[in-house]
Amino acid sequence: MPETHTQSSDNTDYQATDAEADVDYLDQEVNIFKPSTPFMRDHLRVVWAMFALWAVVVFGPVTATAIAPGVMTDVTVLGFPLHYALTAIGAPGGALVLSLVYARKRDQLDDKYGIDHGTDAPATDDEAAEPAATDGGVDE
Amino acid sequence: MTATAIGATQTPLQLLPDALNGSFKLVPAIMVTAMLLLFLSIGYVFRVTDTDDLWVAGRSIGNVENGMAIGANWMSAASYLGMAALIALSGYYGLAFVVGWSTGYFILLIFLAAQMRRFGKYTAPDFVGDRFDSDTARAIAALTTILIGFVYAVGQARGMGLVGIYVFGGDYATMVILLMAITVGYLALSGMLGATKNMAVQYVILIVAFLAGLYAVGFTQGYSTVLPQIEYGAMLDQLGTEFTEPFTSGSYYLWIATAFSLIVGTCGLPHVLVRFYTVESERTARWSTVWGLFFICLLYLSAPAFAAFGTDLYAKNVGNVYGANGMSGAEGDVIVVLASQLANLPTWFVGLVAAGGIAAAIATTAGLFIAASSAAAHDIYTNIVNPDATQRQQLLVGRATIVALGAIVTLTALDPPALVGELVAYAFSLAGLVLFPMFFLGLWWENTNRQGALAGMTTGLLIWFTAIVNEVLPAYVDVLADAAGESGAIVPIYADVFPAIGAALAGTPIVFAVTIAVSYATDEPGEDIKRLVRQCHSPEPMGQQQSAEDVVTDGGSDDVATDGGSEDVATDGGEDTTEA
């Protein structure tokens, strides 16, 4: 985690952090189709892109099976008919991978906007120590 | 033609799993008892004292632990028993449940988890009541919570009754009554001991029981070695085409409707959301969702393998799996236990697998009943009926709710209308129709107002009730049965578009449309509500004990509000929360 932080602080993103300091988020409208702050625009871009991927992973296999049942059931992967493998393993596994990617991307967004949720936040020392350990585990 | 007809083509549902060896078995009985006692004693050791702690474990739980708690919360009889049953009985359609119950967490993650954590309220009724500033909305959400608990628990009761036959012998009705009585007893104890902190342990015990069963069956029968979750692919072509052939027992529309309903239901279930209040920050809320999905996937990738092994063993040892004299719904619902028994594993080992199923069902039911009793005592009774209610009166109402709910669930479960997984799916339909749109719009569109929410929730409830009356109740009420006739549904076309099990596919967009239209037609919500919503989306960190409300109300001036993360404000906010 610290690596990514330094990395993004080095380049132009650092300016975004300064710009963000002026935004009062309590005065900015919340509407999923009309992001009103740069942070929300960046965040929603990630959200919608990942959502589209998710829709393909989850509903793609069953739809493909409905459209081309012959191909989907005849092709086999590791013994599985293709439609079965993509649905039983591909969809849950795909959603898990996408979740991981999203959580990482969201962390990067936090770095870009200079947001810190506890790793070295101005919280009390004991509060800061525990999340640091836990987050480190996740990133590996 | 409809979802209910899939698992059990012949109604009424056959209630005895014939192939299961039903007699009293001492060791498995001890194991069930031991598991429950273990849950209780861990709960006691990590007991919590004040109410803030009880509800959200002091908001101090980390990623992995909270991920396991999410997994344990998730692992009811529907996952442990019902999913393998649906895969074995309904083939490819059963996978809609695997997909729906796992991939929904992604939607929860990208749209709701962190924002919910920032909002910082304990229960679904609290969120709805505060966000839409309405006690009526709070009451509807509370009522929905109770209804979800009821429908969900009927599925659990059926599961524990069926598996109970293996462990204790006896007939189905006796088992349902006995185990539901044990559940209420467990609930009384866990309520007294404060069993919140033990979710992680509970997850470990349940997943070990499930995976041990899968690996042992796979290994002893020569199906698999190290990775049964993949290796079962090689045996699929021996299982009969019904196991894999698409759209034989459920159309493409029904498949999509079911999966969609389960996905939005996941995002609307009150007991899932409460897990995000237990974490230290929104970042932990995100990462623990990722971990939670990982722990859930462990079970969900294994269930189809277990179903495949069970189906093959059934065909070899009992008879035809599919067709008129094939596997009954009751046998399907215990396929996980049945597979272990048919693999000739030692009784104590089969008992371990069975005990896991019963423990999952009891723990989930207990959790649902606690949520329902708090909704009745706190959100309906104290907020609406009797604002001056004393602590004692609230406790009485809460307990009465549990007893009444226990009785109704037991009665309904004696003659359940569907398979475990299907019953639980009805609850997901309800959550997806009524609560999910409120959470989503409430957090992502600040102009959603009270009138919109009330209209939307009423529409959602109406769609759900109509679907249930249309399709599920005819099995119980003679008048409706006459009206329904051969097809099983009163209005077949309605059942096609809004199947009870997947009513959310067509219904949720309608609820969204109604909520948005009414919100547009009426006055915008006040600035204070809007600021509440904005605070949920602000990237500024918040104090650990803060809710969005604390930040917004503490910050009378803009300066303080922006500095929400600073220590002073955080401390003040924390104290406010405890009082409220």
When mean pLDDT is compared across B268-282, B447-461, B465-479, the lowest value belongs to: B268-282
Q: pLDDT band for A116, please (50, 70, 90 cuts).
A: confident
For residue B3, pLDDT over 80 is answered with no
A94 to chain B: nearest residue by CA? B103
Taking an 8 Å cut-off on Cβ atoms, the answer to whether A87 and B280 are in contact is: no
Interface predicted TM-score of the whole assembly (ipTM), two decimals: 0.86
Q: pLDDT band for B120, please (50, 70, 90 cuts).
A: confident
Q: Which residue in this structure is represented by tokens 């004990």?
A: B545
For residue A134, pLDDT over 80 is answered with no
Q: Is B103 on the interface with A (CB under 8 A)?
A: yes
What pLDDT, on the 0 to 100 scale, is given for residue A125? 36
Do you know the residue count of chain B? 580
Mean pLDDT of chain B: 84
Q: pLDDT band for B61, please (50, 70, 90 cuts).
A: low
For residue B45, pLDDT over 80 is answered with no
For residue B529, pLDDT over 60 is answered with yes
Q: Nearest CB to B537: which of A30, A81, A89?
A: A30
Q: Which of B99, B112, B238, B448 to mutate to test the interface with A (most CBs of A within 10 A)?
A: B99
What pLDDT, on the 0 to 100 scale, is given for residue A48? 95
Whole-number Cα distances in Å, B544 to A132, B376, B547: 15, 29, 9
Q: Which residue has the higher pLDDT, B186 or B98?
A: B98
For residue B93, pLDDT over 90 is answered with yes
For residue B7, pLDDT over 60 is answered with no
Q: Which residues of chain A does B305 touch, with a Cβ-Cβ cutoff of 8 Å?
A: none
Q: How far apart are CA B47 and CA B170, in angstroms?
A: 36
What pLDDT, on the 0 to 100 scale, is given for residue B46? 65
Share of chain B above pLDDT 90, in %: 46
Share of chain A above pLDDT 90, in %: 41
Q: How far apart are CA B286 and CA B283, in angstroms?
A: 5
Average of per-residue pLDDT across B196-208: 78
Taking an 8 Å cut-off on Cβ atoms, the answer to whether A131 and B62 are in contact is: yes
Burial environment of residue B558 by CB neighbours within 10 A (0 to 12, 13 to 18, 19 or more): exposed
Q: Which residue in this structure is represented by tokens 């002091």?
A: B58
Taking an 8 Å cut-off on Cβ atoms, the answer to whether A77 and B233 are in contact is: yes
For residue B6, pLDDT over 50 is answered with no
Share of chain B above pLDDT 70, in %: 87
CB contact at 8 A, B315 and B243: no
What pLDDT, on the 0 to 100 scale, is given for residue B278? 65
Q: pLDDT band for B580, please (50, 70, 90 cuts).
A: very low
Taking an 8 Å cut-off on Cβ atoms, the answer to whether B290 and A20 are in contact is: no
Long-range pairs for B392-400: beta carbons < 8 A, 24 or more residues apart: B397/B373, B398/B373, B398/B374, B399/B373
pTM, to two decimals: 0.86
Q: Which residues of chain B does A69 touch, with a Cβ-Cβ cutoff of 8 Å?
A: 246-247
